[in-house]
């Protein structure tokens, strides 16, 4: 993982492109706002601790299948499928582009949380700091969010772009037909409660109401307990098994202060550092991740 000027780990962008609308063009880097947690459990071979892999299995023929024995199928009515080849998928794949095509601005409060999938930070790329800040400040002061599309890894994504604290972030969105309505999940008709019941409920809510949501309220107790258990067993050398190292970079090995990363990227002074003269501070997707 790359290091910053003060040797702190810097989140590495995994996609770079340009926010475009009208005559505006703002180069940005996409950085995941979340990081992998150390709570995922792997399935191992009991005999030697070898991590297990998954295979496609055909229950009819009772055998595992190789990659060349598998085809993709699009489900249709009646438990039937239409098979699609790799060449046919390539023909309908979205055109590869590095543009985040910002199509419209809407009131940020109009986008319901149900539509959100995953969240990313958009950081200024190259010398785009001035344009980046101008866009972020203009969107934030107007209370607007941008609706845009972009292509990544041959898939087109619908995203909402928000501005908060001078920072742009993007949230991938679900499409309307991916969500169920309250009627579709069997919500019963609204009854008319008694006044005493309304007052009792209001008091119960008021007793637990806080002015602000503390970050500690979002901590995962299970994750902490699991880490404590693993660390205890590791110290005692209980149930520790050796397995061949897997290829690829270890995810989540470094804890990153994202605000420090953002300050470095946009030229703001870091904690404890003296001020410097640096730079001032929707089409359908086939699937989303």
Task: Output the domain CATH number for residue 133.
Answer: 2.40.290.10
Average pLDDT of the segment spanning 112-125: 92
Supply the pLDDT for residue 138.
95
Cβ neighbourhood burial of 160 (10 Å; 0-12, 13-18, 19+): buried
Q: Which of 29-43, 55-69, 207-221 has the highest mean pLDDT?
A: 55-69
Which range among 15-19, 92-96, 181-185, 272-276 has the greatest average pLDDT?
15-19
Under the banding of pLDDT at 50, 70 and 90, the label for residue 274 is low
Strands 99-107, 80-84: pairing is: unpaired
Q: What is the mean pLDDT of residues 42-67?
A: 88
The model's pTM is 0.61
Q: Is 277 among the domain residues?
A: yes
Mean pLDDT of the chain: 79
Report if residue 47 sits inside a domain. no
10: confidence class by pLDDT, cuts 50, 70, 90: low
- Let me know if residue 242 belongs to a domain: no
276 within a domain of the structure (yes/no): yes
Q: Which domain holds residue 272?
A: 1-35+84-188+257-289
pLDDT bin (cut points 50, 70, 90) of residue 185 is confident
Q: Is residue 51 included in any domain, yes or no?
A: no
Per the CB < 8 A criterion, the answer to whether 149 and 104 are in contact is no
Give the number of domains in the chain. Answer: 1
How much is the pLDDT for 41? 80
- Identify the pLDDT of residue 165: 92
pLDDT-derived band at 98 (thresholds 50, 70, 90) equals confident
For 280, the token pair is 């001032």
For residue 285, name the pLDDT band (cuts at 50, 70, 90).
very low
Does residue 91 fall inside a structural domain?
yes
| Position 99 in a domain | yes
Which string of DSSP letters, residue by residue, matches 167-213? Answer: EEEEEEE--GGGS--TTTTTPPPPP---HHHHHHHHHHHHHT--SS-
Ranking 22-31, 32-41, 201-210, 226-235 by mean pLDDT, the lowest is 32-41
Residue 244 token pair: 């061949």
Mean pLDDT over 1-10 rounds to 50
Residue 223 resides in a domain:
no
């Amino acid at each position: 993982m790359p290091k910053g000027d003060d040797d702190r780990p810097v989140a590495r962008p995994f996609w770079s492109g340009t926010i475009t609308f009208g005559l505006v063009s703002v180069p940005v880097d996409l950085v995941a706002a979340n990081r992998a947690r150390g709570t995922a459990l792997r399935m191992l071979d009991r005999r030697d601790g070898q991590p297990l892999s998954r295979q496609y299995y055909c229950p009819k023929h009772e055998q595992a299948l190789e990659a060349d024995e598998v085809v993709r199928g699009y489900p249709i009515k009646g438990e039937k499928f239409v098979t699609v080849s790799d060449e046919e998928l390539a023909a309908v794949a979205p055109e590869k582009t590095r543009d985040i095509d910002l199509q419209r601005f809407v009131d940020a409060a109009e986008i319901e949380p149900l539509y959100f999938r995953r969240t990313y930070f958009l950081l200024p790329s190259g010398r785009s700091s001035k344009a980046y800040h101008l866009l972020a400040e203009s969107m934030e002061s107007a209370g607007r969010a941008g609706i845009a599309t972009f292509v990544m890894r041959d898939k087109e994504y619908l995203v909402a772009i928000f501005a908060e604290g001078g920072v742009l972030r993007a949230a991938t969105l679900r499409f309307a037909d991916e969500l169920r309505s309250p009627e579709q999940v069997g919500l019963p008709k609204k009854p008319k409660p008694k006044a005493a019941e309304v007052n009792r409920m209001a008091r119960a809510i008021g007793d637990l109401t806080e002015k602000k949501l503390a970050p500690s309220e979002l901590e995962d107790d299970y994750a902490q307990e699991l880490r404590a258990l693993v660390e205890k067993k590791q110290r005692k050398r209980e149930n520790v098994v050796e397995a061949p190292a897997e290829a690829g970079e270890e995810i989540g090995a470094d804890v990153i202060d994202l605000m420090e990363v953002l300050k470095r990227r946009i030229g703001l002074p870091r904690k404890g550092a003296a001020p410097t003269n640096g730079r001032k501070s929707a089409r359908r997707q086939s699937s989303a991740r």
